[in-house]
Structure 1
Amino acid sequence: MKTVKAKMQVDRPVTETLLDEAIERGQVRHTCAVQATTVTLLDSCLVVRFEDGSGVLLPVKRYPEFAGFKAEDFAGLKVGFSGTALCHDTRDVHVSIAGMISASESLMTVAASVIASRNGRQSSAAKAEAARANGKKGGRPRKVGVAL
C-alpha cells in the first residue's frame, strides 16, 4: 500500500488559470462517473436510465432504504448529485446508484466479467514488442524442461 503525505494547503487567490483547471478536472470526472438521467418505478423495480441510453432494473425489496415507500413516494424520487444518487428530499433519502448496483451479486458478476475481458485485451508496449520478436522467430518459444 502506498502512503501519501498530505501537503500543506495554502490559500491561493482564484485566477482564470485555476478556474480553467478546475473546470477541466470537473469535465474529466463527469465523463468517468456513473451518470444517471432518470429513475422510474416499474413493477416493484426501480428503472435507472443512464446518459448513453442504457439502464438497469433494481428490485425495491432488496434495498431497506425504500422500506415504507408508497407509490407517490417513488414518484418523488429524483436523480441527484450529478447523476450519481437517487434522492427524495421529503423523506431525506439519498442513495448511491453505484452502491445499489454493487449490492447486486449478479450485476457485480457481470461487471467483473466485463472488466476482466477489457483488461485481457490491453497490451503494453513491452508485450507488443515481445509478440513481434516472437513472431519473427516463428511464434512463442516452447518451454524447455517442463514435463507435460
Structure 2
Amino acid sequence: MKTVKATLHADRPVTEKRLDEAIERGSMRQRSSLHAVSVGFTAPSLLIHFEDGSGVMLPVHLYPELDDFQPDDFAELMIGFAGTALCHEGKDLQISIAGMISASQPLMAMAASVIASRNGRQSSAAKAEAARVNGKKGGRPRKTDIA
C-alpha cells in the first residue's frame, strides 16, 4: 500500500497556472468516475441514469435503508455528491450508488467479466518484445510433455 503524507499548501498563492491545473485534475476525475444524472422509481425498482445515457435498474428489496420508504418518498430521492450518491433530505439519507451496485451479485459478476476481458486485451512493452523475439525464432515454442 502506498502511503501519502498530507501537506498544507495554504501559503502558496493561487496563480492562473495552478487554477488551470486544478480544473484539469477535476475534469479528469469527473470523466473517470461514476456520474449519475437522474433517479426514478418504478415499483419494485430504482432506475438510475448516467451521464452517457446508460442506466441501471436496482431492486429496492436489496437495500434495507429503503425498507420504510413509501412511493412518495421515492419521488423525493435526488442525485447528490457530484452524481455518486442517492440522497433524501427528509430522511437524512445518503447512499453510495457504487455501493448499491456492489450489493448486486449479478452486476458484480458482470463487472468482473468485463474487467477481465479488458485486462486480457492489454499489451505491455514486455509482451510486445517477447512476441517479436518469439517471432524471430519461428513462433511460440511448443510445449513439451515432461513425464
TM-score exceeds 0.5 = yes
Question: 1:130: how far off?
Answer: 1.2
SS state at 2:58 partner: strand
The equivalent of 2:60 in structure 1 is 60
The equivalent of 1:45 in structure 2 is 45
Say if 1:9 and 1:53 are closer, same or farther in 2 by CA, change over 3 A: same
Answering whether residue 13 of structure 2 is matched by residue 6 of structure 1, we say no
Question: 1:47: how far off?
Answer: 0.4
Percent identity of equivalent pairs:
61
Question: 1:36: how far off?
Answer: 0.8
Distance 1:7 1:78 in 2: 33
Distance 2:122 2:134 in 1: 18
Gaps (5+ residues) in structure 2? none
TM-score by length of 1: 0.91
TM-score by length of 2: 0.92
Q: Which amino acid aligns with 2:113?
A: S
Question: 1:143: how far off?
Answer: 3.8
RMSD: 1.5
Question: 1:7: how far off?
Answer: 4.8
Aligned length: 146
Q: Which runs of 4+ in 1 moved over 4 A?
A: none
The equivalent of 1:111 in structure 2 is 111
Question: 1:142: how far off?
Answer: 2.1
Gaps (5+ residues) in structure 1? none
Distance 1:8 1:63 in 2: 38
Deviations 1:10-43 (A, max 9, x none): 4222222221111011000000100111110012
Answering whether residue 141 of structure 2 is matched by residue 141 of structure 1, we say yes
Question: Where does 1:72-91 land on structure 2 (aligned, <5 Å)?
Answer: 72-91=72-91
Distance 1:142 1:90 in 2: 67
